[in-house]
Structure 1
Amino acid sequence: MSITLTVGTTVLALDPDLLWEDEFAWAATEQTMTRGLTGKPIIQTALRQAGRPITLRNEDDRSAWMTRADMSQLQAWADTPGQRMTLALRGASHLVVFRHHDGGPFEARPLVHYADPLPADWVLATLRFVTVLE
């Protein structure tokens, strides 16, 4: 199944082998608990509207390569404050922004280091997004 990231009419196809590392580390339910004056618990529960982290990364050095050209496009989007993107992942569409507040929007390293890299050279990347409301 394909993974794409879209801004306006620009569609960036990502490697379908990217691993969604925090897919099951988030729950749609939010809950808080405080105690009243008598010590009795006061529990409030609601459905989260947005804020789901989505982290995509390669499983190992043999999978989910990306070109430097693709990373340059991602860098341009990350350098645009508040840039909203549509992430198509596993048959669902997510409105996302980069997670600048949580380790940076991404990490990338070359698959092979070259003194004079080309746009077609391969990199390994971890991409960090968070869902937002329309």
Structure 2
Amino acid sequence: MAITLTYNGTTAHISDRLQWTDEYAWSPVDQATAYSTTGALLVDVAVKQAGRPITLVGTDTAAWLSRALCDTLRAWAALPGIELDLVLRGDTYRVVFDHAQGSGFAAQPIHKLEDGAITPELLYLPTFKFIEV
């Protein structure tokens, strides 16, 4: 089952071999503590409504993306505030690119490239940084 990313009716099919690196690094519980003027500990706890980070990283040959697909994804990431539907492990997440953590989408070529050797078929290892909204 491939990971898909859909924007405005167009779906990008991405390898299912991307690693969700922060899957268990986020908690929906938010907590703040402070001391009152009497010295008592005040604890405020709430459930976050959104904001879960989803970072997907290509780590092996099965995660490679073509340069043509990378061009499309880079163009999407350059559109401020767009919302996309991410299907990951059978679940659908409404996400935006996380530009606060650098680039919301990045890709590294799997080989060193000469300027004249760039074609749409070249392969890249991707990294996606999303925030669930």
TM norm structure 2: 0.93
Aligned to 2:93: 94
Q: Which runs of 5+ in 1 are unaligned?
A: none
Aligned to 1:48: 48
Task: Kindly report which structure 2 residues correspond to 1:1-134, keeping only aligned pairs within 5 A, or say none.
Answer: 1-60=1-60, 62-115=61-114, 116-132=117-133
Secondary structure of 1:11's match? strand
How many Å apart are 1:44 and its aligned residue? 1.1
Q: Which amino acid letter does the alignment assign opposite residue 24 of structure 2?
A: F
Secondary structure of 2:70's match? helix
Percentage of matched positions with identical amino acids: 40
Q: Which amino acid letter does the alignment assign opposite residue 102 of structure 1?
A: Q
How many Å apart are 1:2 and its aligned residue? 2.3
- How many equivalent pairs are there? 131
How many Å apart are 1:50 and its aligned residue? 0.7
- Normalized per residue, the structure richer in helix is 2
- Distance in 1, matches of 2:31 and 2:53, equals 18
Secondary structure of 2:51's match? coil
Aligned residues of 2:109 and 2:123 also touching (Cα < 8 A): yes
Deviations 1:79-125 (A, max 9, x none): 11111111011121111111111122122111123322111110011
- Distance in 2, matches of 1:12 and 1:126, equals 15
Structure 1 consecutive aligned stretches of length 4 or more whose deviation exceeds 3 Å: none
- Distance in 1, matches of 2:2 and 2:49, equals 25
- Distance in 1, matches of 2:73 and 2:106, equals 11
- Distance in 2, matches of 1:117 and 1:65, equals 16
Secondary structure of 1:101's match? helix
- Distance in 1, matches of 2:2 and 2:64, equals 14
